[in-house]
């Protein structure tokens, strides 16, 4: 049995390393968004400062480790065997959940996940013990620290509302003071603002960090508490003077100093507060094993020893800190999660990762009505003043020609408000999630700044709701999955442990593959969006590029048509499902082309103005062609998915002839586009007319069959719908060739 517990300890510490990696990948968003989004410094400098904060914060986390030992469950109610299985279930669950969220690119709370996992695992073991006939009966409340758990849940929900509200309010005040054109105002008030901000962040470091430092004595902590006010006054004066000197003598933007200082502080807070989420459980397991070994291997030892206060060795904390730093630098998933928060809070409209939902549309609609109402009753003088203060300035462009997602004013507010709220919560001993606070502050400041304009509001709101919804999913999934795993491990023993470990390895590996694929798809879409965002390009070049896209879409469409028809013949649901995925990709791609029109035209050369109409028509026809293809594949899939009757022999024969005719027709058009040869247009018109005549003839035959009641309703409607889309494919494909031919002729004259 001792060998089993040694194996469990080894698995726990391997899981601790894995959990550090997936946990940091998720929580890096907390402290990187403001600095990266505002481009306060180069990526390397930001990462170096964040790394130093993480290393220092790791040594601050010693006092937080007790939550894994006694914060959620009452150790005196469990045996050594019980707690080891609980800890194992918690770590397995944590890695699965966090890695899933990282793969999706959604920031979630590691604090919430670890707490609900501990609740779930301890709840499962407690229920087993309660209904066991071998031990005295107890109430469930004897096993679980319900008061602590409820306080944590309530504190987290409250912090979400407070963080968002304060983000909106403080950013609004800051923008009234500085506006978007803050260069002149910054020279007058910048040093004072930066001094206040830096002092707030320093106060946050003192309150948040000092009490958890592994090498800090009680006397040191007591002295800091007694002299907090004096320390803050000295800091305020000294910081203000330093910022003023940096501005006057060295021409340094003091806001950049504040943002980098705040990044360091939040990185330190993350490591100090959230390190327990990753290694707290394995360290609790190590403490449990030490108690077990001291009892001469008594696996039924009651774990009341976990109630004792223990200082975590600084060496363990530093090792964990180094693993976190390496993850920061090399984790692609950390960048994906960070990108989500930056995307939702950026000032400009652009490629939107999230779609719209009914709820987000409703929220935006009512907000627009409310804004109009307020605007109507507001005095015109006040309205004009506010409009001037909130008038957008052109975003600065860096040497790499990439615009910051938002300016330094908002970045500094994000960090200061987050720091103050977390410091206040800590000083009042209120449980907070650093992820929830920092994310909701960032969303509040972006709303106040007008970043959620009419162009992007519905998508940003949808994204925020998705992230918040994910938090509730985290809590429910953490509770339920850890309960299930704890029960499986309890009754399954060593075999269940090995199978679960293998499953976790498989899921993590699979998520890596999925993330890599998703990352490539997202990058391709974003690259398409920004391709002509900054650099001007002639429409001749553009149309040449889009000519290649049309050829590619045509090639894919022919393959999809063939396989869709074959799948309908064989009633092959899986093959149709594959075509659904392919057609969605084409539809998304052509939709993305459509969203580029405004930006491409805005950045075009004046000499290309005459050619704009050709480009717009090409995009319109290509989009309609993709629509027609979608309305063939989707109804076909739904028809087979609903187990409706397949095509009759007559219907199949007619469709086969039409598919072959369309294939020959589109292949000839494709050949003309490839060679930029448009001499056979008349022959193609004749072929098109023949196809349209055959479609009309097939429709007439189908109407006769319906009249004779020889075909069923569902299959008849599908047949007629496909004929209509075949007609659209024939029309729009030739229209694309004609417009390219017209463009070529027009280009010779310009």
Nearest to 734, CA basis, from 659, 694, 654, 680: 680
Residue 532: predicted pLDDT = 44
Quote the CA–CA distance of 631 and 561 in Å, as a whole number: 12
Handedness of CA 188, 190, 191, 197 (dihedral sign): positive
Query: Residue 302 carries which DSSP code?
Result: B
CA 283, 284, 288, 290 torsion-angle sign: positive
Rounded to an integer, what distance in angstroms lies between the CA atom of residue 307 and that of residue 288? 11
CA–CA distances in Å: residue 196 to residues 181, 265, 408, 410, 413:
21, 15, 15, 15, 11
CB of 348 closer than 8 Å to CB of 395: yes
Domain boundaries, the chain: 2-182+264-522, 531-749
CA angle 647, 649, 651 (to 5 degrees): 55
What is the Cα–Cα distance from 221 to 214, expressed in whole angstroms?
12
pLDDT tens for residues 89-117?
Answer: 988 898 888 778 777 766 677 777 888 88
Q: Which residue has the tokens 């699965």?
A: 96
Place of tokens 């400062």: 49
Residue pair 712/645 in contact by the 8 Å Cβ criterion: yes
Give the integer Cα–Cα distance in Å for 152 and 139: 22
Whether 272 and 64 have beta carbons less than 8 Å apart is answered as yes
Token pair listed for 26: 């998720």
* Total H helices, total E strands in the chain: 25, 0
- Calpha distance 367→386 (Å, rounded): 18
> pLDDT value at position 244?
87
Which distant-in-sequence residues (6+ apart) come within 8 Å of 137 by Cβ? 130
Only one residue has tokens 């553009």, namely: 542
- DSSP character string of 512-531: HHHHHHHHHHHHHHHHHHHT
Buried b (16+ CB within 10 A) or exposed e, 333-358: bbbbbbbbbbbbbbbebbbbbbeebe
| Nearest-angstrom CA–CA distance, 43 and 716 | 60
> How far lies 442's CA from each of 25, 33, 104, 167, 558, in Å?
19, 9, 20, 7, 47
d(CA 707, CA 711): 9
40 within 8 A of 408, measured Cβ to Cβ = yes
Q: Looking at the DSSP assignment, which residues form a beta bridge with residue 144? A: 73
Q: Could you give the CA distance from residue 564 to residue 572 in angstroms, rounded to a whole number?
A: 9
Which pair of tokens denotes residue 616? 């717009």
Number of other residues whose CB lies within 10 A of the CB of residue 575: 17
- Contact predicate 148/71, CB 8 Å: yes
HSE-up of residue 104 (Cα within 13 Å, Cβ side): 14
pLDDT < 70 regions, the chain: 1-2, 23, 25-30, 60-71, 105-107, 133-139, 207-216, 273, 276, 309-312, 333-356, 393-403, 423, 426-432, 452-456, 515-516, 518-544, 596, 598-611, 711, 744-750
Q: What angle do CA 52, 194, 400 make, to 5 degrees?
A: 65
CA 445/CA 167 separation, integer angstroms: 5
Q: In terms of residues, how long is the chain?
A: 750
Q: CA–CA separation, 743 vs 618, rounded Å? A: 10
Phi, psi angle pair for 282, to nearest 5°:
-60, -35
pLDDT score of 700: 92
**Among 340, 303, 305, 317, which residue's Cα sits nearest to residue 106?**
340
Which candidate, 662, 535, 54, 710, places its Cα nearest to that of 334? 54
**What contacts 470, CB < 8 A, 6 or more positions away?**
101, 104, 106, 108
466 Cβ neighbours under 8 A, 6+ residues apart: 106, 354
Give the C-alpha distances (Å, rounded to integers) separating 404 from 29, 37, 264, 320, 519: 16, 6, 20, 32, 21
Write the pLDDT tens digit of every residue in 192-233.
888 888 888 887 777 655 555 555 677 777 887 788 888 888
Give the helix/strand (H/E) hosting 739.
helix 713-749
Topology of domain 531-749 in CATH is Methane Monooxygenase Hydroxylase; Chain G, domain 1 (1.20.58)
Q: What pLDDT was estimated at residue 709? A: 76
Residue 152 near residue 429 (C-beta atoms within 8 A)? no
Q: Any bridge partners for residue 538, and if so which?
A: none
Beta-bridge partners for 79: 302
Residues 6+ apart with CB under 8 A from 563: 575, 578, 579
Q: pTM score, two decimals? A: 0.67
For the chain, state the CA radius of gyration. Answer: 31
Nearest in space to 17 (alpha carbons), one of 294, 252, 320: 320
Q: What residues contact residue 205 under an 8 Å CB cut-off, 6+ apart?
A: 265, 268, 269
- Predicted pLDDT of residue 397: 45
**Per-residue pLDDT at 400:** 43
Per residue in 635-656, is it b (16+ CB within 10 Å) or e — as a string? ebbebbeeeeeebbeebeebbe
Give φ, ψ of 579 to 5 degrees: -65, -30
Neighbour tally for 298: CB within 10 Å: 14
Q: How many CB atoms lie within 10 A of CB 329?
A: 12
Give CA–CA dist 405/493, Å, rounded: 51
Residue of 40, 56, 28, 54 whose CA lies nearest to 259: 40
Output the pLDDT for position 131: 78
């Amino acid at each position: 049995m001792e060998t089993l517990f040694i194996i469990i300890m080894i698995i726990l510490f391997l899981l601790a390393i894995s959990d550090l990696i997936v946990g940091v990948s998720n929580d890096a968003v907390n402290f990187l968004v403001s600095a990266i989004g505002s481009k306060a410094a180069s990526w390397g400098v930001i990462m170096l400062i964040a790394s130093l904060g993480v290393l220092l914060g790791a040594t601050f986390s010693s006092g937080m480790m007790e939550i894994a030992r006694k914060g959620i469950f009452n150790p005196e109610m469990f045996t050594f065997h019980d707690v080891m299985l609980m800890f194992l279930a918690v770590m397995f669950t944590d890695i699965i959940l966090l890695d899933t969220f990282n793969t999706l690119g959604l920031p979630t709370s590691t604090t919430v996940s670890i707490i609900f996992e501990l609740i779930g695992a301890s709840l499962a073991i407690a229920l087993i013990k309660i209904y066991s006939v071998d031990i005295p009966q107890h109430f469930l409340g004897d096993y679980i620290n319900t008061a602590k758990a409820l306080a944590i849940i309530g504190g987290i929900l409250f912090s979400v509302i407070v963080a968002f509200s304060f983000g909106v309010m403080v950013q609004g005040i800051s923008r009234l003071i500085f506006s978007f054109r803050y260069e002149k105002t910054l020279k007058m008030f910048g040093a004072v603002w930066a001094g206040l901000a830096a002092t707030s962040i320093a106060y946050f470091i003192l309150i948040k960090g000092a009490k958890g430092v592994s090498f800090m004595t009680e006397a040191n902590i007591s002295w800091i508490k007694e002299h907090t006010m004096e320390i803050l006054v000295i800091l305020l004066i000294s910081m203000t003077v330093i910022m003023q000197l940096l501005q006057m003598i060295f021409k340094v933007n003091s806001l950049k100093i504040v943002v980098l200082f705040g990044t360091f502080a939040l990185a330190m807070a993350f490591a100090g507060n959230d390190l327990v989420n990753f290694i707290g459980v394995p360290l609790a397991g190590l403490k449990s094993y030490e108690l077990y070994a001291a009892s001469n291997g008594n696996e039924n030892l009651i774990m009341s020893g976990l109630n004792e206060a223990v200082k975590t060795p600084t060496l363990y904390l530093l090792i964990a800190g180094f693993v976190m730093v390496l993850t920061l630098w090399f984790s692609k998933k950390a960048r994906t999660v960070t990108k989500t928060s930056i995307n939702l809070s950026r000032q400009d409209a652009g490629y939107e990762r999230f779609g719209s939902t009914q709820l987000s549309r409703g929220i935006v609609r009512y907000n627009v009505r409310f804004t109009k109402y307020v605007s109507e009753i507001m005095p015109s003088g006040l309205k004009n003043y506010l409009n001037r203060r909130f008038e957008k300035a052109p975003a600065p462009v860096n040497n790499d020609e990439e615009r910051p997602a938002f300016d330094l004013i908002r970045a500094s507010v994000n960090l200061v408000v987050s720091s103050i709220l977390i410091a206040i919560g800590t000083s009042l001993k209120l449980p907070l999630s650093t992820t929830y606070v920092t994310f909701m502050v960032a969303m509040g400041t972006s709303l106040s700044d007008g970043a959620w304009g009419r162009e992007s509001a519905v998508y940003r709101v949808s994204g925020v709701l998705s992230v918040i919804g994910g938090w509730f999913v985290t809590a429910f999934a953490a509770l339920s999955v850890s309960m299930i795993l704890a029960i499986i491990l309890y009754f399954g023993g060593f075999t269940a442990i090995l199978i679960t470990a293998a499953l976790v390895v498989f899921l993590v590996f699979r998520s890596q593959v999925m993330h890599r694929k998703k990352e490539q798809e997202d990058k391709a879409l974003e690259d398409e969006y920004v391709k002509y965002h900054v650099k001007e390009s002639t429409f001749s070049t553009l149309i040449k590029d889009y000519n290649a896209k049309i050829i590619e879409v045509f090639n894919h469409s022919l393959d999809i048509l063939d396989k869709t028809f074959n799948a309908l013949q064989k009633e092959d649901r899986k093959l149709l499902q594959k075509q659904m995925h392919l057609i969605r990709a084409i539809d998304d791609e052509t939709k993305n082309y459509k969203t580029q029109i405004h930006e491409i035209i805005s950045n075009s050369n004046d000499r290309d103005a005459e050619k704009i109409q050709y480009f717009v028509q090409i995009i319109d026809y290509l989009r309609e062609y993709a629509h027609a293809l979608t309305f063939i594949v989707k109804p076909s899939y739904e028809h087979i998915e609903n187990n409706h009757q397949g095509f009759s022999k007559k219907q199949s024969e007619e469709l086969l002839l039409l598919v072959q005719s369309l294939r020959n027709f589109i292949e000839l058009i494709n050949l003309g586009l490839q060679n930029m040869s448009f001499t056979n247009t008349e022959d193609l018109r004749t072929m098109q007319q023949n196809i349209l005549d055959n479609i009309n003839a097939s429709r007439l035959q189908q109407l006769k069959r319906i009249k004779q009641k020889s075909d069923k309703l569902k299959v008849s409607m599908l047949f007629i719908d496909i004929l209509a889309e075949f007609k659209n494919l024939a029309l729009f494909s030739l229209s694309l060739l004609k417009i390219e031919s017209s463009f070529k002729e027009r280009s010779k004259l310009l």
